[in-house]
Structure 1
Amino acid sequence: MMNTDTVPAAIGANRLVEINLDRLSQMGMVTQDSGRTSVAEDFRIIKRPLLRNARAETGGGAIRHGNLIFITSALPGEGKTYCAVNLAMSIAMEMDNTVLLVDADVARPSVLKVLGLGSAPGLMDILTNDQLGLPEVILRTNVPTLSILPAGRPFKHATELLASRSMSALLTDIAERYADRIVIFDSPPLLITTEASVLATQMGQIVMVVEAETTTQHAVQEALRRVEQCPHVNLIYNKTKEFPGGQYYGYYD
């Protein structure tokens, strides 16, 4: 890791932040108090096979980093951040799991904005400052089983950092430190940046969000080609109220 700055004085270990759950519920998103909404039901279906893979319940043995779930899309605007947040919220309701939601879209971070939270140090700060550790930048929330790792400040050599041995070691630490932890990564779009393809090589499971009636077949095929090294890739067909068939689906008005 590179020591490029001193540790910001405002950073505290496992700082507690308050997510406005009523606001999220009014936005139509999944919360512990939102009840059996259609979106909540969608994500109950979406999360089940992902959790089976993470727990090695599929009969094929353990998946390396199976608890690292990478949410991406071919292009911007397809709803990947909303899917990442909803999936994290849904899994946080499980009795046997804790969730770490990572904003890995370091060029255009939006997880904290969606959750109504202010900016905070995070992933890039760990990778550029050897005085920082993971516990110092993880945000605990008022959802007891949900924590957040923000993207942190922008860095012009983000791709190189995400491909570094420091990042690989950090991902191993994140994956293995707690046996019950599921880690959801909101990643950059696959066809816009190179960061997503770099990160995808170290993930156990990939979920690609496809915007209904907008994303072209060519874009989907090209995006899938960029993550073909991962054997566990799933699709969410997003922003539609009708789904003619398939394994994963979801929608947002």
Structure 2
Amino acid sequence: MSIIEKAASRIDQQRQNAAPTPAASTVADQSDPIVTNPEFIPARQASQDAVRAEPVLTTAPASDAPREELLAGRQSTRRIELDLARMRELGMVTAAGGRTNLLEEFRIIKRPLLKRAFAERGTKENPGNLIMVTSSLPGEGKTYSAINLAMSIAMELDHTVLLVDADVARPSVLRTLGLPAQRGLMDILLDDTLDLSDVMLRTNVDTLSILPAGTSTPRATELLASSTMTAMVHELAHRYPDRVIIFDSPPLMLTSESRVLASHMGQIVVVVEAQTTTQHAVKEALQQLEGMANVNLLYNKTRDIPGIEETYDYHYG
């Protein structure tokens, strides 16, 4: 018997016994399961339904909106504004920046990454849409490259991007974008009551979201190697078939966290600073990634034009 039929039967019985009608909150049998699936109710709809006097008894249809916006009873993903004009001034890729050499370089860089991101893979291979951007040492431009790669992929018509600041000891993504620190990746791994929707940031670039690094912790390596991290990365990779996840990783030669993070990745991009990074440093960094597939070098900060102090020329190999 449905909840509505039980309620109607109970009211009829009470009328026959000349008893007053019970309050609306006690009409339905509390032992009956609620048929509404809260995971598929948009958060804004859930907040409106909460103030209604009558309960919603129909199952909400599945939605194509992101999961972060479909969790009833939770605050929807927060929205931040990227200062695109400031990003252009800093030499970053933006859709409104016009046709620049930098934009064209990243169009070349992203194409083979996207091809492999959605290619068929073996059952034991990591998902190709998990891409880690790292370097041998600090200061080689890995965060700059990760942001530009994410912005370039966000310009695609068929893909969305999640940019994850996984350099948890020295977070740089939000700082580079001129934004304050926020809860993020480490907080999810430390607190099992948190959900991605609680810490993920939507941006004014509709196809780009950001997951900050979050709270610093001395247990970062163990947390990144945990089953919770494995499950979360698997969720990120498979929830949406069109999504690419870019991880800004710590430098390979400074922490053990980058090696652990690399074990989850389907593709790895190592940024090498031209005329600065030594051959020895590159070899040492690549040894940290020994046995991992799809490791690529991105040559950064070349000085090709006499009289020009520095240009950014990226080479994929």
The two structures have a TM-score, normalised by structure 1, of 0.89
Post-superposition CA distance 1:24-45 (Å, at most 9, x none): 0011110010111111111000
Q: How far off is 1:179 after superposition?
A: 0.5
Deviation at 1:12, TM superposition (A): 4.1
The C-alpha deviation readout for 1:137-190, integer Å capped at 9, x for no partner, is: 110000000000000010111001001111111110111111100000000000
Structure of greater Rg:
2
Within 2, Cα distance between the matches of 1:64 and 1:202? 6
1:28 maps onto 2:91 in alignment: yes
Q: 1:55 deviation in Å?
A: 1.5
| Corresponding position of 2:298 | 236
How many pairs are equivalent? 234
Deviation string, structure 1 residues 38-58 (Cα, Å, up to 9, x no partner): 11111000000000001117x
In 1, Cα distance between equivalents of 2:266 and 2:180: 30
Listed as ranges, the matches of 1:102-181 within 5 Å are 102-181=164-243
Instruction: Select the residue among 72, 77, 80 that pairs with 2:142.
Output: 80
Runs of 5+ consecutive residues of structure 2 not aligned to the other structure: 1-73, 306-312
Matched, 1:222 2:284: yes
* Unaligned stretches of 5+ residues in structure 1: 1-10, 244-248
Is it true that 1:67 corresponds to 2:124 in the alignment?
Answer: no
Matches within 5 A, 1:176-195: 176-195=238-257
On the 8 A contact 1:101/1:149 being kept in 2, the answer is yes
Conserved in 2, the CA contact under 8 Å of 1:13 and 1:138? no
**Following the alignment from structure 1 to structure 2, what is the Cα–Cα distance between the partners of residues 72 and 12?**
33
Q: Which runs of 4+ in 1 moved over 2 A?
A: 60-64
Q: Deviations over 1:112-140 (max 9, x none)?
A: 01111111110000000011011211100
Q: How far apart, in 2, do the equivalents of 1:37 and 1:61 lie?
A: 38
Shift of 1:202: 1.0
1:47 is matched with which residue: 110, 116, 120?
Answer: 110
Which residue of 1 is the match for residue 80 of structure 2?
Answer: 17
| Counterpart AA for 2:210 | I
Identical residues among aligned pairs (%): 62
SS in 1 for 2:157: coil
CA distance in 2, matches of 1:111, 1:64: 24
Aligned to 1:246: none
The one of 96, 105, 113 equivalent to 2:158 is: 96
Q: Measure the CA separation in 1 of the matches of 2:296 and 2:86.
A: 29
Q: Displacement of 1:228 after TM fit?
A: 2.1
The separation in 1 between residues aligned to 2:76 and 2:136, in whole angstroms, is: 35
**Structure with greater helix share of residues:** 2
The answer to whether the 8 Å contact 1:69/1:207 transfers is yes
- TM-score normalised by L of structure 2: 0.71
Q: Measure the CA separation in 2 of the matches of 1:83 and 1:192.
A: 19
| Distance in 1 (alpha carbons) for counterparts of 2:220 and 2:226 | 10
Distance 2:192 2:227 in 1: 13
| Equivalent position SS for 2:110 | helix
Q: Is the 8 A contact 1:74 1:191 kept in 2?
A: yes
